[in-house]
Every structure is written in structure tokens, then in C-alpha cells.
Amino acid sequence: MRSIFLILLIISAGSTIAQRKIVESIQSSVTARESEAHLSFLASDEMRGRDTGSPEIDIAANYIKTQLKIYGAKPVPGDTTYFQPVQLEKIVAASAASLTIGADVFKLKDDLLYISGGSTSLNGEMVYVGYGLPSDFEKADVKGKIVVALAGSNATTNAVQALLTDSPAKGKVAASHGAAAFIEIMMLPGLPWQSLVNFLSAERMMTQKQSQTTMPHLYMKKSDAASISAFIESKKGIGRLQVEAKAPESIPAKNVAGMIEGKDPVLKKEWIVISAHYDHVGVKKNASPDSIFNGARDNAVGTVALLQAAKFFGQHSPKRSILFLAVTGEEKGLLGSEWYSTHPLIPLNQTVFNYNCDGAGYNDKTIATLIDLKRTSVDELLKKACATFGLELKGDPAPEQNLYERSDNLNFAAKGVPAVDIAPGIKTFDKELFKYYHQPSDEVHSLDMSYIEKFHRSFVYGGYLIANEKERPTWVKGDKFEEVGKKLYGTK
């Protein structure tokens, strides 16, 4: 008994000493001085706000690649560049559109909004497919027809999911079934038509989807017109759809990716993707006197967290393998991570976790914010990591804002990969936060570097703990993404 107890004591003392060594090496590796140096480059005025598609964001990409290389990260197998080309397209709003059913004419902006697909002139059969779920398309004959569906996947779908997730997915299914055009009727609670008009009347970017580029996709305002009710009731009708829109312009963009292989012969087959978006919103002409949106908080801080992690893991190989992924086009709609999730560099079923770093700024320097707690099994590890450097880890301060689905972690989660986003501390959405959030004032000199140092150290230690933990991360039981995770990994 006694000797076993003694051995246990020695083992646990040994592991405490090892832990202390790791914490000490994080302290000497991750410093405010170095974080500030990276930040001052990435968020400088010369970077002109790292707008996706701009020449300056390519300079930022080159900088990130160079740092990854210095730190010892390698390009993924088959690549030598550290770049993943991302095919984006710029969509210009339609100049005209109308849908005519009998005597009713529905017009652009008043009732119709153009999403994608270019010009068309169709006159013929219309078919109604309910919410346009894959099973609805199996039942209906949509080939060559104007297909109409309700937006979202059921009566309670929230707007973000309906617009960002359901809509592109349904457009794809409609196109693959040979639909001539696809119109979604907006009946979502809490989404005023006018906000959609504002959003879709401006230039936008999307990832290029071959199957979808030539099928016009539109939104339609909820209508009480008799022609619409009759059409929905009978599920078929005749209509004329005209759209005048410029063909989309292709925009070259890139994600930056480097890897550090794990040292454990078994666990190295399990990959963790450490991600952060490196784009921001660029320059706005009418903002004065400062027109450059530097994006120090959003998201140079996250990008530098990724670089600091690469530096540390380059010196201290973890058991699991790590892919460092700086993604583009987040501000345009999570586009770089969307592209990655459909063109992964490491198979997603070998990717066990996505550790994303993206924040909106901070207004509480005693905490770090996890979006969200109680989603995956890593909470305790991350709480410990933060506590080690004097921060308390808190969860989502504003669940009603759906923050989990507003950064790149969503694109991993949607494929089933357990994912979280960690950010500098947000107590609540207040004036202090909006003073910098997506403002020209989001500059490096306004950051408290001793707080950023704590945050970066916590981030790196959290990644270290996750990458070395015996058990791989999992979804919390009952999570929204648990089922798709089971499918991805083939577990029960």
C-alpha cells in the first residue's frame, strides 16, 4: 500500500513539475513584445484594413506564411506554398427583376431580391416545394421550372441559419435537380424585409459554387396576393421571371495553412485545426478623418494568437497534430472557412477539434470569453489554461446574438467537428465595445498589451492541453451538432 502511494505521489509530483515547466516555457515564448510586433504589422495603416480581394491582404497572407515557416510549421502534403487558393466571386446587385403571376407583378426591392445566378428570362411552369428540404425535391418534378420554397427549414428557423446555411444548401439542391430558377419566400420572424433589401442591394462576395452560378436564386417578400395563395395551395402555376444582373466577377483569395505533426505515434493521426480569420473590412471612403479600419482586435489579435501557438508548438511538439489555418473572407460571410470545410487539407474525419480565435474586442480584462461553454468537452481544460494566466473563462455574454454561428468555427461545427471560438473578454455588448468594433479606431495603440499577453498565453496553453489530453474532444451530449459529428466520425 505504502509503496504504491509513494509511487503515485512521485508520478503526480512529476506531472506537476512538467506542467509548471510548460507554463514557464509559455511565459518565455509568448510575450507582449512579440505579440505587439506582429499586431503592429498586421493592423498597420499600410495594410489598409486587410480587405478580402485587396492587394494588401496578400501582403498579410505572405507575412503569416513567413512566420509559420520560421516557427517550423510545414506546408501540408502535396503543397509547397502554405497557401490554399479560395475561389470567391463578387456579386453585384441586380439592376432589375420581376415575377409576374397572372395580373400580379412582383418587383425588385418591393417584393423580390436577387441573390445570385445572373440574368434570366423565363416564362413557364412554377412549382412549390414547401421548405425545399431534400425530401421535398425527391417528391417534386422541378426540372426546367421556376421553383418556389419557404425560407428556412421550418417555422421556427432563425434568420442567420435560414440565410447563411439553409439558403445556399437549398440553392445547391435545386440546381442539382435542374431547376430553372429558385425563389425563397421570407416568412421568418424577426427579419424585417428592409434589412434584407439593404444587405442584398450592396456588393457581396460568395464562394464560387459551380453548380449554382447559372441558376437565378431570389428571395421574395411574404405576400397575401391571391395569386400566391392559389399557387401555394395547388403547388403549381405559371409565371414569368425576369432578372437583369451582371455575371459575378471572380475574386482571388487565399487561406494560409501550415502544420506541425504530433509526436505521439497514435494521437498524431488526430488533427486539431487552430484557426483565425486574418481579413478585415478594409477602407471606407466616407469615414473621416480616419478611413482605415485597422482591425487590431478583429482579428489581428486572433491571427497573432495563432502565430504564437505555432511558435510554441514548433518548440514543443504536442501529441496530436496541429493545422494552423488563417482564413480569408470571414467578414464577407465566413467564406474562407466555408471553402476550407468543403475543400479540407486534412480529412475532416481525422480532424478532431477546431480551436478558433476571433473576437469583437474586450470590455472586461479579468476574463476570456468562450463561444460557447457547454458545447464541447474542452471547457475544463480551457478554464484551467485561462486561470493559469489570471483570467476567468466565461461563456457567451449574449446568447440572443447567436455568436456561435457568426465566426469560422461554425463551418467546422456544421460538418460535425467539435468547435469553439475563444475571444478576449466581453462582459456585455456596450458602448466601450462598439467604440472599436468595426471602427477606424480599432488600432494597436488602443490595446492593453499586458491583457493581450495574458490572453495569448491562455490561448496557447489551452491549445496545448487539448492537443495533449488523453481523450479527444467531443460534443456535449444533445448538442445541435452532435448527430452530424457521429456521422462524420462513424461513431454511435
Among the listed ranges 36-44, 148-156, 352-360, 429-437, the one in contact with Zn ion (CB under 5 A) is: 352-360
Cα pseudo-dihedral 354, 355, 359, 362, rounded to 10: 150
CB of 337 to Zn ion, least distance (A): 11
CB of 359 to Zn ion, least distance (A): 7
Of 337 and 468, the one with the shorter C-beta distance to Zn ion is: 337
All residues at 6 or more sequence positions from 174 whose CB lies less than 8 Å from its CB, including other chains: 132, 137, 142, 147, 149, 182, 215, 217
Of 184 and 396, the one with the shorter C-beta distance to Zn ion is: 396
What single-letter amino acid sits at 50? R
Of 6 and 199, the one with the shorter C-beta distance to Zn ion is: 199
CB of 289 to Zn ion, least distance (A): 25
CB of 333 to Zn ion, least distance (A): 12
Among the listed ranges 91-99, 222-230, 356-364, 408-416, the one in contact with Zn ion (CB under 5 A) is: 356-364
Among the listed ranges 123-131, 290-298, 383-391, 477-485, the one in contact with Zn ion (CB under 5 A) is: 290-298
Of 251 and 334, the one with the shorter C-beta distance to Zn ion is: 334
Tally: H helices and E strands in the chain: 15, 17
φ/ψ (deg, to 5) at 243: -135, 130
Of 221 and 406, the one with the shorter C-beta distance to Zn ion is: 406
Q: How far apart are CA 201 and CA 191, in angstroms?
A: 16
Of 122 and 309, the one with the shorter C-beta distance to Zn ion is: 309
Among the listed ranges 52-60, 244-252, 295-303, 304-312, the one in contact with Zn ion (CB under 5 A) is: 295-303
Rule CB under 5 A: is residue 298 a binding residue for Zn ion?
yes
Of 132 and 302, the one with the shorter C-beta distance to Zn ion is: 302
Contact string (CB under 5 A) for Zn ion, positions 299-318, x = contact: x-------------------
Which residues make beta-bridge pairs with 368?
A: 393, 424
Of 262 and 336, the one with the shorter C-beta distance to Zn ion is: 336
Q: Which residues of 286-299 are buried (b: 16+ CB within 10 A; e: fewer)?
A: eeeeeebbbbbbbb
Contact string (CB under 5 A) for Zn ion, positions 242-281, x = contact: ----------------------------------------
All residues at 6 or more sequence positions from 262 whose CB lies less than 8 Å from its CB, including other chains: 268, 270, 317, 318, 319, 320, 321, 322, 467
Q: How far apart are CA 276 and CA 337, in angstroms?
A: 9
Question: Please, are residues 241 and 122 in contact by the beta-carbon 8 Å criterion?
Answer: yes
Among the listed ranges 257-265, 353-361, 377-385, 413-421, the one in contact with Zn ion (CB under 5 A) is: 353-361
Where in 359-378 is the site for Zn ion (CB under 5 A)? none
Rule CB under 5 A: is residue 405 a binding residue for Zn ion?
no
Which residues make beta-bridge pairs with 243?
A: 97, 120
Q: How far apart are CA 258 and CA 70, in angstroms?
A: 11
Rule CB under 5 A: is residue 321 a binding residue for Zn ion?
no
All residues at 6 or more sequence positions from 210 whose CB lies less than 8 Å from its CB, including other chains: none
Nearest-5° Cα angle at 431, 426 to 433: 35
Among the listed ranges 4-12, 63-71, 220-228, 350-358, the one in contact with Zn ion (CB under 5 A) is: 350-358
Rule CB under 5 A: is residue 358 a binding residue for Zn ion?
yes
Nearest to 74 by CA among 412, 270, 317: 317
Of 369 and 468, the one with the shorter C-beta distance to Zn ion is: 369
DSSP letters for 351-399: EEEEEEE--S--S-TTEEEEETTTSBTTHHHHHHHHHHTT-EEE--S-G
Binding site for Zn ion (CB under 5 A): 298-299, 358
